[in-house]
Amino acid sequence: MVLNASFEEAIHVQPQGNNTYSASLRPEWCIGTVPHGGYTTSVLYKLATTHFAHAHPNQYSTPAAPISIQLSFLRRTAVGPVKFEVEDIKLGARTSTIHIKLLQPSEKQKDRLEIKVAGYITVSPPDAEVGLTAETRWTPLPAPAPGSLPGGGIDFAKLASTGKDGEWIRLNSRYPDFRLAEGQIEIYGPGNGGVQQKRHGRMAIDQWVRFRPNGDKEGRWTDPAVVYLLDMFPMALDGLDVVASSGAVGDTENAAQGKAKSWYPTVTLSLDLKKRLPPAGVEWLYSRIETKVVKDGRTDLNVTVLDQDGEVVAAGAQVGLVVSASRNTGNRKTTKL
C-alpha cells in the first residue's frame, strides 16, 4: 500500500474482468477502524467513471460522470482490498444507470465475500445536459454568519492567512485520533457545533472548507472530492455529541469531553450532483447541514454544498445511526451493526 497516497491514488479503481473491478480502501480515510462513508462513496464515483470508460467507451461522445447516487451501507467496510461488481441496468442516450456492489470478506467467514455496500449510480455526459434552466432564488435560511466584507461577505484570503474573518474561525477536530478522515480538510465555521445550534435555535450548521488530502496545501475540490464532502461535517457530529451527552440542542456546558463516545454510521445515502466543477477544481466550498429529528438512535442529515458564487454544487440526504464508538473500534469478529 502506497504511503501518503494522493487522493486520486486513494480512490483508484482497477478493471479486473467482465464488469468486475478492484480497489483498496486506505486507513487515513477512516473513522475509527471503518473507512469513512463519504470517502467510500468517492471510490464508487470513480468506479462509475472507470466502468463507462472501460466497458462502454463509445456510449457517449464526452466522458459520462455521476449525477445521482443512492447507496445502502449494509455492513461495515474495512481497510484493504475490495471487489466491485457492476450490472448495467439502463444504457441511454442522456442517462445510464448501473447497479453496484462493494464486496469484502465476511467478518465471521473470512473465506466468503459478502456485500458491504450496494446501490445505484446514474451517469450523464455534460453535452447531454440540456433543457429548462430556472432561477429558484434558494438560499440557506437562517442566513450564514457574516464575514468582514461589505454586505457580510467573507474575506477568504484573510480567513486562510489568519484563521479568522468576521464571525468565522478555523476549527480543529475534537477527536483527531478517532476521526482520521477529518484530517483531510481545513474547516472554518462561526463557532463549534453547540455554539451554532444555539445561534440558529435548531440543529443547523454552516462550514467553509478547503481540501487538504494528506496535508497537500494545493488540494482542490474536484467532482469526486465533493462526494466525500457531502458526508463530512465535523461540527454537525459535535452537535449530535452535545445532544447525546446532555439531551439539549446548544447545551455546550454539558457536552461530552475526552474520547469520542459516539459513532454515526451511515445507513442510506442519496446524492444529487448539480454542477460540475472545473477540471482544476476549486479552493473553497460551503456546506449547510441540517438535522430534523434525532430519535431512538437514528438521525437524518441533509447537506447542501455551494460554491463561492452561491451556486448549488450538490445536495445530499442520509439516514444515520447514533451508536457507541466501541461498535466501531471493538472486535471486528464479533461486533456488528
**Grid cell listed for 29:** 480515510
Count of C-beta atoms within a 10 Å radius of residue 327 = 17
Q: Considering the domain boundaries, does residue 335 fall inside one? A: no
Contact 249, 241 (CB under 8 A): no
How confident is the model over 61-70, as a mean pLDDT? 97
Tell me which of 196 and 267 has the higher pLDDT: 267
Q: Considering the domain boundaries, does residue 334 fall inside one? A: no
For the cut 90, the answer to whether the pLDDT of residue 336 exceeds it is no
Q: What is the mean pLDDT of the chain?
A: 90
Q: Residues 111, 37, 206, CA angle at the centre, nearest 5°? A: 170
For the cut 80, the answer to whether the pLDDT of residue 239 exceeds it is no
Q: What is the DSSP letter of 174?
A: S
* Residue among 214, 215, 194, 212 nearest 204 (CA): 194
Compute CA 259 distance to the chain's CA centroid, rounded to the nearest angstrom.
Answer: 23
Q: Considering the domain boundaries, does residue 300 fall inside one? A: yes
Q: Considering the domain boundaries, does residue 1 fall inside one? A: no
For the cut 60, the answer to whether the pLDDT of residue 1 exceeds it is no
Number of domains into which the chain is organized: 2
Longest dimension (CA), the chain: 62
Task: Kindly report the pTM of this predicted structure.
Answer: 0.92
Q: Which of these ranges, 22-36, 212-226, 255-269, has the smallest mean pLDDT?
A: 255-269
Q: Is 114 in the same domain as 156?
A: no
pLDDT digits (tens, 9 = 90+) for 176-212: 888 899 999 999 999 888 888 888 888 899 999 999 9
Contact 101, 115 (CB under 8 A): yes
Q: Is 164 in the same domain as 297?
A: yes
Q: Is 176 in the same domain as 64?
A: no
Q: Which of 72, 94, 126 is the last residue of a domain?
A: 126
Q: Considering the domain boundaries, does residue 2 fall inside one? A: no
Terminal alpha carbon distance of the chain: 28
How far is the C-alpha of 311 from the C-alpha of 43, rounded, in Å? Answer: 25
pLDDT value at residue 125: 96
Q: Is 261 in the same domain as 116?
A: no
Q: Is 198 in the same domain as 65?
A: no
How confident is the model over 7-29, as a mean pLDDT? 97
What is the CATH number for 35?
3.10.129.10
Q: Is 178 in the same domain as 308?
A: yes
Q: Considering the domain boundaries, does residue 239 fall inside one? A: yes
How far is the C-alpha of 171 from the C-alpha of 286, rounded, in Å? Answer: 15
Q: Considering the domain boundaries, does residue 132 fall inside one? A: no
pLDDT band at 242 (very low <50, low <70, confident <90, very high): low
For the cut 50, the answer to whether the pLDDT of residue 252 exceeds it is no
Across-strand partners of 88?
A: 98
Q: Which domain holds residue 112?
A: 7-126
**Grid cell listed for 140:** 440557506
Across-strand partners of 267?
A: none
How confident is the model over 222-246, as a mean pLDDT? 84
pLDDT digits (tens, 9 = 90+) for 270-312: 999 999 999 999 999 999 999 999 999 999 999 999 999 999 9
How confident is the model over 250-257, as a mean pLDDT? 46
**DSSP output for 272-312:** EE--PPPTT-BS-EEEEEE---EETTEEEEEEEEE-TTS-E
How far is the C-alpha of 217 from the C-alpha of 179, rounded, in Å? Answer: 20
Q: Is 81 in the same domain as 31?
A: yes
pLDDT value at residue 224: 98
**Grid cell listed for 160:** 486562510
Q: Is 262 in the same domain as 158?
A: yes
Q: Is 18 exposed, middle or buried (0-12, 13-18, 19+ CB in 10 A)?
A: exposed
Q: Is 317 in the same domain as 172?
A: yes
For the cut 60, the answer to whether the pLDDT of residue 65 exceeds it is yes
Q: Which of these ranges, 1-10, 38-47, 199-208, 221-230, has the smallest mean pLDDT?
A: 1-10
Q: Considering the domain boundaries, does residue 336 fall inside one? A: no
Q: Is 196 in the same domain as 280?
A: yes
**Grid cell listed for 329:** 473500534
Q: Is 162 in the same domain as 76?
A: no
Share of the chain above pLDDT 90, in %: 73
Q: Is 260 in the same domain as 170?
A: yes
